[in-house]
Each structure stands twice: as C-alpha cells, then as structure tokens.
Amino acid sequence: MSGQIISLQDWFQTPPGRYLQAWEQAQLDRFVADIFGYHALQMGLPSLDALRANRMPHRWLAGQGSSGQGGNVLAPQAALLANFEALPFPANSLDLVILPHSLEQSQDPHATLREVERVLVPEGRVVICGLNPASLWGLRQRRAHFYRRLGWGELYLPQAGDFMGVGRLRDWLRLLSFEVETSRFGVYRPAAASEKWLQRFDWLDKAGERWWPIFGAVYFLVAVKRVRGMRLMGPAWKTVNSRSAATASVSRKAGRMRG
C-alpha cells in the first residue's frame, strides 16, 4: 500500500478499505431500514450507499468541496455540495443524518456535530461511522506516523483526519443533548494490506466481537436528538377515544347511583 494515499475515498478502494466498507454497509442496511420520517441526508463518502435500505421519500447526498469528494453519485439520492459546518437546510428539518467518517475528515468536527443538531428534528437520529484509534489498525497508524517523522515508512490508514475515540464522541454528543441508542464495533482482522492475508484471518471477526469487542477497527453509533421539556403527543384519535371512554364510564356510574 502506498504511503502517498491521503484520500479516504481512495483508501476505500484498497483491500482493507473494501473489507471495512462492507462491514459498515451491513450495519447501515440493518439499522436505517427502521428509521422513519421524510427527509434524510448522507454527508460525504459517495462510494457508500448509506441510505439504500431507508424508505424516506426525500434523500440527499452532500459532498464537501468542489469535487464532492469524488466517486459516483448513488441514485436515488439527490447530490449537492455543502459546507458541513453550514448545511443548506432549515433548523429542525431533517429526520436522519448519516456521517460516514465525516467527522474525522472535517476541519472542525465539533462544529459539524453542532450543525447536525441544528438541522435534525426533535427525536431525529444521527448515525456515525468512525475509525477507532484504540485498535490494531489505529496502533499501526500511530507507529507509521512516528516512523514517517524519521523519514521512512508508510501509512496504513488515510493520512488526513483526526480519528477520535468513542468516549470523546459520546461526550460531545451528550453536550449537544444527544442520547446514544446503539453503539457497536467491528473489523478485527490484523492490519494487513493484501486481500489474501485479510481472508486468512477472517475467523478473528467472530472471536473479536465476543472477546475484545471495543478494539474493533471501526465503530458504528446511532444517537437521537432529545429536547429538554418537550412532550411527545400521541395521535389525535387516541385522545378522542380516551375521552369517549371516560365519558361513558362516568355515565354508567351516575346511572348506578340513581338506581
């Protein structure tokens, strides 16, 4: 693997990138299928069809910068270019936002999260995928950075970006009034560069999920936006039926008393 790879989009075309993306696609297909609403947004990484299992009628794929991060736009999403710290959507307008490695590629990840909180409706959901620095892959990347400062060696993961841990991310979400609903880790094979060696260690995926789950190379997290003091109202027909039942009950009691 060349040490000149700096783009996340390019890295996902390598054997470890395809392996990681396949795991993420499976998680997204499983979890976003049951998130309902009208408007959904995927921010970045067009090679990953994060919304393909979702049934919302309005879906967008946002790219950052003039190139849209490269790659092909995935139908049926509508493509747009946007600054991730200033999205072109009104406040409280989106039901679902997906961040596939968007935070670690952002110049200001905290500002990106604040913007996601702004555009999400109350009880809306954000789905985040990120590379885990506390993993074998993260360890190899830190070692490669050390050797590169000495003038040799090559990186395993993309060069750009800040790979934040889950603990730090949870703290940021808590400050923005998000509540984590689901979090899980995956991708436990060693940091190999070839398809052959990755396949040789495929048994480690099940072993890692059972014995050392928090050390997977990637994490997947779903959080819901909570609004303090907000009370969710049920359907109007439930209120009407409950009032009717209460009136009937009072009428029956009054009739028994007169009798």
Q: Is residue 1 part of a domain?
A: no
CB 7 within 8 A of CB 100: no
Which tens digits make up the pLDDT trace of 59-87?
999 987 643 344 444 444 678 888 999 99
Asked whether residue 2 carries a pLDDT value surpassing 90, the answer given is: no
Which CATH number goes with the domain that contains 60? Answer: 3.40.50.150
Structural domains of the chain, count: 1
Q: Is residue 81 part of a domain?
A: yes
Residue 219 sits in which domain range?
Answer: 8-258
pLDDT per position as a tens digit, 28-51 = 999 999 999 999 999 999 889 999
For residue 2, being part of any structural domain is answered with no
